[in-house]
Structures are given as C-alpha cells and as structure tokens.
Amino acid sequence: MILTDTHTHLYSEAFDEDRAEVIKNAMGQGVKRFFIPAIDSSYTKAMFDLQKSYPDNMFLMMGLHPTHVKENYIDELNHVEQMLEQHRFYAVGEIGIDLYWDKTSLPEQQKAFVSQIRLAKKNNLPIVIHCREAFDEIFEVLENEKADDLFGIFHCFTGTLEQAHKAISYNMKLGIGGVVTFKNGKIDAFLNQIDLKHIVLETDSPYLAPVPYRGKRNESAYLIKVQEKLSDIYGVGNEEIAKITTANSKEVFGI
C-alpha cells in the first residue's frame, strides 16, 4: 500500500529537531510520496535540501503563498518564475487568496494568483490552491482563467457540496486532510456524494492535525487517520482509498 501526502511542509522549522524521524515514521505507515508546497523565497533552500536528502520521495512545488504577498511580491513572483525555469517542479503552489488574516491586500493577492496561474499554464503544470474565506474571489479568478490547461488541487477543501462541484468543474481535485475528522468540519456530511476520483489526501503538516491529534503538530504519518475516515465515509477498504487517491495524485502531478 502506497499513500501519497499531496501537501506537507516538511521543510518547516517545526520539524528541525526530528525531521528524519518524522519522515521515517510516515514511511512506516505507507506514506511514500510527499508533495512539498512553497511559501516564499526564504524557504527555497530548505526545500531543495529536503529533496536532496530524499530524492525518490520528495516532489517540490514552486509558488508564493497568498499570506506572504507583501510589498515585495513582484520580486517574489520573479523568483518563482526564475526557479521554474531553472529546476524541475511538479506544481505551482501553494497559491491563491487568503482573506482571514488580511483583506486589504486582496488586489495584490489577486494579481499574484493570476500571474502564477499563467506561469503554471506556460510550464504545463498543475496549480495547488490555498483558499481561506475567499471562495467567491477564488472562483472569480478561476472563471476568468479556465481552460483545458488549467488543472490542479483545491488544497484543504473546506467548502460546501455546491462549492466542491464548482471546484471540480475547473479541473480541480479536492485535497482532503485532517478537517474531515473534525466534529465541526462539515465536509464529512456530503463527501460521499463526491466521486473518489476527485479526491486526493493531504496533511498540510505541521498544521491541521486530524483527530485524535487535533491541536498538536501534524505529521505525514497521521495521513492514515484521514485515510481511515474516508474509508468509513465511502464504505471501502483502506487499501482502496490508498490506491485510488494515489492514482489521482499521479494524474495531477504526472508522477
């Protein structure tokens, strides 16, 4: 059984004390494929170091996270473009719009999102979307940019059934993580109405740990808790969840 964590920040400072042990534990649970989203240029070296240590397991993305769209965002976008020209990446991400922390930067976030979508199209890559309190704003951009070469993952999907169908209509898989195990997570109530072919697994570690680890540092090993919850929701075995969601990740990332 091979599980794929389509979204984990293993280069984060949260793992500086025990990164090798965390990765070993995840692999021991069957998690063998780790897709690594970018945040900003300050983490680029750490991402490359991680890939160098685990070349067969770590697959990097490149992008500017919406909460890191600051005054220097044009420089950061130039860095993203330069990196995409110089190295192999498997997606442009994580990118999108986040209005939870700062609504005043919406115009800049929108520009950065559109710019990176176009970079993804130019490089024939999927996008990985971060959306927080911004479904309408995200969908507005996707509607304007929709095309056969626009595809990817709606990371940490926490929307409604209607929003799930809308995301899928833009060639997006739904990234399902620890939230599906929360009592107030809500998506577990309708997820069985979404075909498994549209689902990929993720942790977003070190964030959003699933029950029973909620509130603690998340790890890729905890992906099995998400897998088990989906097994309950869909009424199929853990092996089937692993098989289908890993196949879905291969469809998106091309590997």
Q: Which residues of 49-75 are buried (b: 16+ CB within 10 A; e: fewer)?
A: ebbeeeeebbbbbbbbbbbbbeeebee
In percent, the amount of the chain with pLDDT more than 70 equals: 100
Question: What pLDDT does residue 169 have?
Answer: 98
Q: How many CB atoms neighbour CB 17 within 10 A?
A: 8
> Span 57-63, mean pLDDT?
98
pTM over 0.85: yes
For residue 243, pLDDT over 90 is answered with yes
| Chain position carrying tokens 């808790």 | 225
Domain 3-253 matching CATH 3.40.50.300: the answer reads no
What pLDDT digit, counting tens, does each position of 113-159 carry?
999 999 999 999 999 999 999 999 999 999 999 999 999 999 999 99
Domain borders along the chain are 3-253
Instruction: Give the separation between CA 136 and CA 194, rounded to whole angstroms.
Output: 21
